[in-house]
Structure 1
Amino acid sequence: MNELHGAGVALVTPFNADGTVDFESLAQLIDYQINAGMNYLVSLGTTGEVATLSKEERKHIWDFTVKQVNARVPLVAGIGGNNTAEIVDQIKNFDPTGFCAILSVSPYYNKPVQEGIYQHYKAIAEASPLPIILYNVPGRTGSNMTPETTVRLARDFKNIVATKEASGSFAQFNAILRDKPADFLLISGDDPITLPMMALGAVGLISVVGNAYPAKVAELVALCAKGNYTAARTIHNELLEITDLCFVEGNPCGVKYILQEQGIGQDHVRLPLIPVSAKTQAAIQAEMQKIH
């Protein structure tokens, strides 16, 4: 899965003022990412507000994204949730044309035990026509997928090829890297710790802030891949504060505001999310002035 090495971005879903999908801005965003050097794109990951999109909207966005990307870079589809049967049904009815993998978030809210998480991904792996990227983000799901479960899945299912890790636990990253099959990939799911994760052996990042700063994120990851951590550290430090501001009032509210200021779409989000406050807008504007 060389397609999953390097810098990926979890695309936001631009909306119009009336709440409909803004496909013109989505096309602009896709081209912005590719032209800036992003290695691959994730369509309808959790950053894409997929939980608020209808089945018809998801299909339309995927179809549109495949056409707009036009095989210029690899493309990953986000298909995950907390109803295993529904996710399996979505995958069985999904057209994989134009995609190289599926990113599937660990079940949220239900707080399953480890065996439940294993069985959830077992069902997905057995149904999927594409390789699977696990996604562990306990701060959002309410449960952690342990290294033992991750490695067990990697060993038992050849089409489970990577994990996007956003646990923030270096003990967890170390255990995965120590025990995983040789060809199983660890991918950072958290912008601010990509540099140290890649120093340990992660192959790249699936980014949020990359929506707004794709060239910088792509360069950071490329420098880390070359082992040039001194140069990478400069970009890492430059993006720290703006990354924090992207999340201070919910994701993708902050990064959508930055994109609006850059001339790509509007900062409209779907409830229960709301646009960032005037205070956060001012902080973002001030920080944007520092990034060159």
Structure 2
Amino acid sequence: MKKDNPYKGVIVPMVTPLNDDYSVDSDGVGKIVNLLLEAGASPFIAGTTGEASSLSFQQKEVLVKETVKQVNGKTLVYAGISSNCLPESIDAAKRFADLGADVLVANMPSYYPLKDAFTLRYCEQLAEACPKPLIFYNITATTGYSIPLDILEKLSYHPNIVGLKDSERDQDRLDKALSLWKNREDFAHLIGWAAMSVYALKNGSDGIVPSTGNFAPVPYVELYEAARAGDWKLAETLQQKTNDLSALYQKGRSLSESLAALKVIMNEKGLCGTQMMPPIYRMEEKEEAAFIQEIGKELENINA
């Protein structure tokens, strides 16, 4: 693994804890951030797991303020600035930087089909306007668009673009990406496909971005450290453990359904409530009770 790249390790795409009136739950932010810090992980706020596309700018401001306050300089704070409106993304970048976010993260707009020339121009324009280092985020499941690797390779030499978080589930693409950037100290590759964490780390990725780290960050940090030490047997054992934890709330569910189930687990672990931002809604009472009963034994074994 690279030694000098600062954008590495376990970066957890943090849920956004909400009160029943949809305001950001500051106590919940503190509990989750402290859990991550104690494990040795960093928070990525206002991303997919954090329901960013449904949050208002004001909610995101509070989320950034509270996270930065709780982190208190102990690790990097990654903050999502994605919007379908370029000026809004730029405004978010400037405001979140002023509030103390260390790294900005953006996926592509998700409404209009884009040709490659537009993608390159958009990314360069956003990067030029960002007052902090920028990481691009490829997530075809929500944007319906896969950022071409040749475009990303061009962008990787921009002085303010420092990495890629890739959540596309395509091993051929992953292999090609790692062959491009595994030896680049100035450009980080972060794997958002958590089930491929060990594979990616073994082949040159710099870090992992697992949503399950919201309630179980320790095994992911242990996995990352085992990979750093070259203990691939232990890393594979931890990969299976983390896969099983992820299956508790992801198996058989859509992305929106899994996020609601994730918050149920978070609530059971005393980290935050179950409120979601529409158009996602929390589980119905009977469904939630059945879910808790189904995963009860596994929950007891999670050290949170």
TM-score in terms of structure 2 length? 0.88
Q: Distance in 2 between matches of 1:272 and 1:286?
A: 31
Specify which of 37, 53, 56 is matched with residue 55 of structure 2: 53
**Equivalent residue number for residue 261 of structure 1:** 268
Matches within 5 A, 1:37-76: 37-38=40-41, 40-76=42-78
Question: Residue 125 of structure 1 corresponds to which residue in structure 2?
Answer: 127
Q: CA deviation at 1:99?
A: 2.5
Aligned to 1:18: 21
Q: 1:233 aligns with which of 229, 233, 236?
A: 236
Q: Deviations over 1:119-148 (max 9, x none)?
A: 221111010111111100111110111211
2:219 match: 216
- CA separation of 1:98 and 1:36: change in aligned 2, threshold 3 A: same
> Where does the alignment leave 5 or more consecutive residues of structure 2 unmatched?
none
Alignment-derived partner of residue 203 in structure 2? 200
| Aligned 8 A contact 1:133 1:163 in 2 | yes
Structure 2 vs 1, CA of residues 124 and 283 (structure 1 numbering), >3 Å: closer, same or farther?
farther
Q: CA contact under 8 A between 2:166 and 2:193: conserved in structure 1? A: yes
Q: Which residue of 1 aligns with 2:299?
A: 288
Between the aligned partners of 1:123 and 1:88, the Cα distance in structure 2 is 9
Give the aligned partner of residue 175 of structure 1.
Answer: 176
The alpha-carbon deviation at position 289 of structure 1 amounts to: 4.5
Moved more, 254-263 or 110-119: 110-119
Q: Verify the 8 A CA contact 1:146 1:172 in the aligned structure 2.
A: no
TM-score normalised by structure 1 residue count: 0.92
Q: Counterparts of 1:244 and 1:107 in 2: how far apart (Å)?
A: 29
What letter corresponds to residue 64 of structure 1 in structure 2?
A: E
1:223 to partner: Cα distance: 1.1
Rounded to whole Å, the distance in 2 between the matches of 1:75 and 1:259 is 21
> Partners in 2 of 1:285 and 1:110 — Cα distance?
43
- Which one of the candidate residues 75, 87, 94 is aligned to 1:85? 87
Alpha-carbon distance in 2 for matches of 1:117, 1:281: 43
1:148-171: CA deviations, max 9, x gaps? 11111112x121111001111121
Residue 35 of structure 1 deviates from its aligned partner by 1.1
